[in-house]
Structure 1
Amino acid sequence: MAETAWEVGEPRTLAFDEPVTTLRVRIVDGTVNVVGTDEGSARLEVSAIEGPPLRVTREGGTLTVGYDDVPWKTLLKWLDPKGPRRSAVVSLVVPAGARVEVGVVGANAVVSGIRGTTALRGVTGDATFVGLSGTVQAETVSGGLEAQALTGDLRYQSVSGDLTVIEAAGSAVRAESVSGDMVVDVGEAGGPADIRLATVSGEVAIRLPHPADARVEANTAGGTLSSAFEDLRVGGQWGSKQITGTLGSGAGRLRATTVSGSIALLRRPPADEDGTPPAADAPAGKVL
């Protein structure tokens, strides 16, 4: 199918009647908002723009919004200090089943209601994901990621960005960073069966439902450990410390590793009878 293209250099709204199966966005500074809908059509609104115009292309089921000189494959290494100042505020509504690829340099991104795969690459700027049910893949240099109510698998890699996950309910959460902190709150129903977190100097906090079913292994070389679960063993020697043991049937897997950061395993109290979510509990139990 032939490509259709637009140059958007001022605030403008574009509507697309044909189904969109893949969305690709590349933004430098500004904000990207992507919302999934059950409607078959898609809509783009550029509410503010500065600098070079955005290039919008539609080819078959693929909708692309961005700049020609901001490539997806090398975006994490992209640097243009002598280039013109550019910024855009972009909002998109696409079918919920679409694949979404968002690349940001100095821009913030918000993605919600997507059932297809969501992929993020960011140099700086924070990202927020809400209510995503497809697989999530995120890579950042220094931008943080906040995610809530994810029911798909999460893969996260960063140099110094922080990760915060609330009510995780997918089958897997895997995250790696050099200095970023990690906070993972596992939802009451259908929590991740495989959680693997690794950082060099970041702090790690994991809150599990009670009762929980997981084989646990947490290690730190120079940080402190705390556990709210009496069934787990906290020990170590020569500076290295570990939390090990099995919770419930041990159906799941929890592994957390840090070199100099601390690790806390928290327990999520049962929800109240009226369904009110429990408040966060403080680190308790064994500490080393």
Structure 2
Amino acid sequence: MPRWTVDRPQRLTLDEPVTALHVRLVTGRLAVVGTDGPARVDVTRVGSRPVLVEQHDGVLTVRHERRPRWPGLLWWLGRLGRRFRADVSIAVPADVLADLGLVDGSLVASGLSRETRADVTAGQIALMGVRGRTTAKIISGPVEALGVAGDLSLETVSGEVVLADGTVGTVRAHTVSGEITCDLDAQRGGEIRLSTISGRITVRVREDSDLDVRLHTTAGRITSGFPQVRDGSGLGGVRDSAGVLGTGAGRLWASATSGSIALLARPVDDDAEELP
């Protein structure tokens, strides 16, 4: 089983095929890209605690050799965090099963096409051109998904969620405290579910979309660029709006406990102007 202990900047090229990627790092930057050619691991920065790289039965694992025992948050953010700092870039085949974890820092995944799972405690997550089934969770920080296709699930406790330029099947986005902003093309029969406890939801879809729309806010306003989506009655500050766009083959559901919801229409001509 090939195994490397990386304690200084180093680039590794793996000759054996890779079918799955498993990453568990403590703090730093992690970038994973789906590409052609052999798998590569490029460690450009590493603290006093080395990074362990190993491959077994098609599974590529990149992790810190030893995890901290969490002696205290303030100490970890300072001295201990510097010991476990690592900046790592990984290139793998696009169709790998990717399970990516980072305690503190930024995580970027692009060009993956099968199944991707990204988990960060504090920092940020960026997904670009990812397809297939994608799940991203972060406790503190934003999540951004650009050009994503397939089924997508995004969740943050404190942070903003942004989705744009995607053709999605099923989308589930939730934040406890933070805004949700979406500009998407919904597949026929797909489902978009957006929810926030404290924050605003802004969603823009094509004006020729086929969606059954349901919008709800407990304390906020609802505005719609579609005349088919009408404001309904509610008790107190509760607002509900509903309507059917086109055939209503798909579903759009958005809910905000404390915050407003805006549904915007994107002219179809805008898409045509983007074509070469």
TM-score, with structure 1 as normaliser: 0.87
| Aligned residue number for residue 121 of structure 1 | 119
Counterpart-to-counterpart distance in 2, 1:204 and 1:248: 22
Alpha-carbon shift at residue 112 of structure 1 (Å): 0.7
What is the letter of the counterpart of residue 252 of structure 2?
L
Matched, 1:209 2:193: no
> Separation in 2 of the partners of 1:80 and 1:4?
35
* Residue 29 (structure 1) aligned to one of 27, 30, 37: 27
Amino acid at match of 1:195: I
1:233-252 paired onto structure 2 within 5 Å: 233-237=230-234, 238-252=236-250
Pick from 48, 51, 54 the counterpart of residue 54 of structure 1.
Answer: 51
Taking the TM superposition and a 5 Å limit, the aligned residue runs for 1:111-150 are 111-150=109-148
Alignment-derived partner of residue 167 in structure 1: 165
SS class of match (2:126)? strand
| Greater helix proportion | 2
How do 1:62-211 and structure 2 match up within 5 A?
A: 62-70=59-67, 81=73, 82=75, 84=80, 85=82, 86-187=84-185, 190=187, 193-211=190-208
1:222 alignment partner, one of 208, 212, 219? 219
Quote the sequence identity (%). Answer: 37
Provide structure 2 residue ranges, at least 5 long, that are not aligned to the other structure: none
CA distance in 1: counterparts of 2:238 and 2:128, whole angstroms: 37
Contact 2:219 2:257 in 1 (8 A): yes
Residues 25 and 66, structure 1, Cα contact 8 Å, conserved in 2:
yes
Matched, 1:5 2:8: no
The structural deviation recorded for 1:120 is: 0.7
Does structure 2 conserve the Cα–Cα contact (< 8 Å) formed by 1:169 and 1:192? no
Q: As a proportion of its length, which structure holds more strand?
A: 2
Is the 1:168–1:191 contact (alpha carbons within 8 Å) kept by the matching residues of 2? no
Write the deviation string for residues 147-198 of structure 1: whole angstroms up to 9, x where unpaired.
11111100122211211010221211012221121111113x7377100111
Structure 2 length as normaliser, TM-score? 0.91
Query: SS of the counterpart of 1:275?
Result: helix
User: For the Cα contact (< 8 Å) 2:187–2:250, is it kept in 1?
Assistant: no
The number of aligned residues is 267
Relative to 1, partners in 2 of residues 1:48 and 1:162: Cα closer, same or farther, differing over 3 Å?
same
- Alignment-derived partner of residue 231 in structure 1: 228
Q: Deviations over 1:193-225 (max 9, x none)?
A: 100111111211110101111111110010111
Mapped to 1, the partners of 2:160 and 2:99 lie a distance apart of 20
CA displacement at 1:236 relative to structure 2: 2.7
Tell me the C-alpha RMSD between the 2 structures.
2.0
Following TM superposition, by how much is the alpha carbon of 1:26 offset from its aligned partner in structure 2, in angstroms?
1.8
